[in-house]
Amino acid sequence: MLIKTVTSGIKSSQITDRSVWEQRRRFLKAAALAGVGAGLGKFAPAALALQSGPGKQPAIAGLRASRYGAALSPTAYEHVTGYNNFYEFGTGKDDPAEYAGQLQTRPWSVSVDGECEAPGEIGIEEVLADFPQEERVYRLRCVEAWAMVVPWVGFPLGDLLKRFRPTSRAKYVAFETLYDPEQMPGQRRSVLDWPYREGLRMDEAMHPLTILATGLYGELLPNQNGAPLRLVVPWKYGFKSIKSIVRISLTETQPATTWSKTAPDEYGFFANVNPAVDHPRWSQARHRVIGEGLFSPKQETLPFNGYAAEVAHLYAGMDLKRFF
């Protein structure tokens, strides 16, 4: 009965002839291949398959593939999860992997406040259930001149922000990491001014490349990578991508951020990857690729970490040497 109703609702002129349909399919497939090939490299269709991890963390259900970074080959899981900065667990590169295990990521909620009509809290389970999780394979460029490729899982930050209805006064978004020296031994020493804080301009926050990540390699984030929820802004130096977020505030003025407070001449608010603006103590023109041996040469760093086509317009007319 129902089927009859539905079919009867379609006029015969709307039913596509099978040969035309097949032709269209071929055309779409070719167009997709050409498009992906032109933008992202010729191996893209194969890479659209989802990356899978070693099963150390629960797999994320209902994960969708995306075209973002389909042509990039991810850095080995052991390096992605074994070599990073997360000063809350120590300043050594292997400290996060060693000491983050004790962090309790359930229950976990993020409070959203400031210039928005519907301030409130959102739990991590709600985040995972309400926002479609998608794989994003992104380049990550650390300010220390090393880089890797990470197959993140997440969703656009903008989708979450919209739920809390930012007002017209919301010009910036500020983020805060958990402060809990009991669980985060690195916070027992005042290496940085805890809690770690980061921020984005509203247009940067709403950009489709900016995501909140819940996982990597198809699985929930390991603690050392910023579980259960972290920011990923692929065209900025890694320190902008704040980990283990507990608070998001919409603000009218530019928020203070941890590294730019620690050393204002070395780390700016924008921190866009820029080979033309050196860190005062080292060149940013090239970087070392994590996982490649000692004898492989450094690679050229690209403006905006290779995402200039997508984001350069956000900074049109700005002096990027001044606003570094």
Residue 265 C-beta: closest distance to other proteins, Å: 13
Task: Give whichever of 43 and 146 is closer to other proteins, judged by the CB atom.
Answer: 146
Residue 90 C-beta: closest distance to other proteins, Å: 9
Task: Give whichever of 267 and 269 is closer to other proteins, judged by the CB atom.
Answer: 267
What is the number of other CB atoms lying within 10 angstroms of the CB of residue 211? 28
Residue 237 C-beta: closest distance to other proteins, Å: 12
Residue 249 C-beta: closest distance to other proteins, Å: 24
Residue 289 C-beta: closest distance to other proteins, Å: 10
Residue 167 C-beta: closest distance to other proteins, Å: 35
Provide the β-strand partners of residue 140. 148
Q: Which residues bind other proteins (CB under 8 A)?
A: 78-79, 82-83, 87, 91, 93-94, 144, 146, 189, 191-192, 262-263, 280-283, 288, 290-291, 293-295, 297-298
Residue 146 C-beta: closest distance to other proteins, Å: 6
Residues 6+ apart with CB under 8 A from 138: 68, 69, 72, 149, 150, 152, 209, 232, 234
Residues 6+ apart with CB under 8 A from 17: none
Task: Give whichever of 125 and 292 is closer to other proteins, judged by the CB atom.
Answer: 292
Instruction: Kindly report the three-state secondary structure assignment for every residue of 293-314.
Output: CCCCCCEECCHHHHCHHHHHHH
Residue 225 is given by DSSP the state G
188, HSE (Cβ side, Cα atoms, 13 Å): 7
137, HSE (Cβ side, Cα atoms, 13 Å): 24
Task: Give whichever of 107 and 297 is closer to other proteins, judged by the CB atom.
Answer: 297
Task: Give whichever of 155 and 259 is closer to other proteins, judged by the CB atom.
Answer: 259
Angstrom distances, CA of residue 233 to CA of 37, 80, 222: 24, 16, 19
Task: Give whichever of 79 and 163 is closer to other proteins, judged by the CB atom.
Answer: 79
The closest alpha carbon to 291, from 149, 158, 188, 176, belongs to 149
105 token code pair: 């990521």
Rounded-to-integer distance, Cα 74 and Cα 27, Å: 30
Task: Give whichever of 172 and 217 is closer to other proteins, judged by the CB atom.
Answer: 217
Task: Give whichever of 202 and 289 is closer to other proteins, judged by the CB atom.
Answer: 289
Residue 316 C-beta: closest distance to other proteins, Å: 30
Whether a cis peptide bond, with omega within 30° of 0, leads into 107 is yes
Is residue 78 classed as helix, strand or coil in its secondary structure?
A: helix
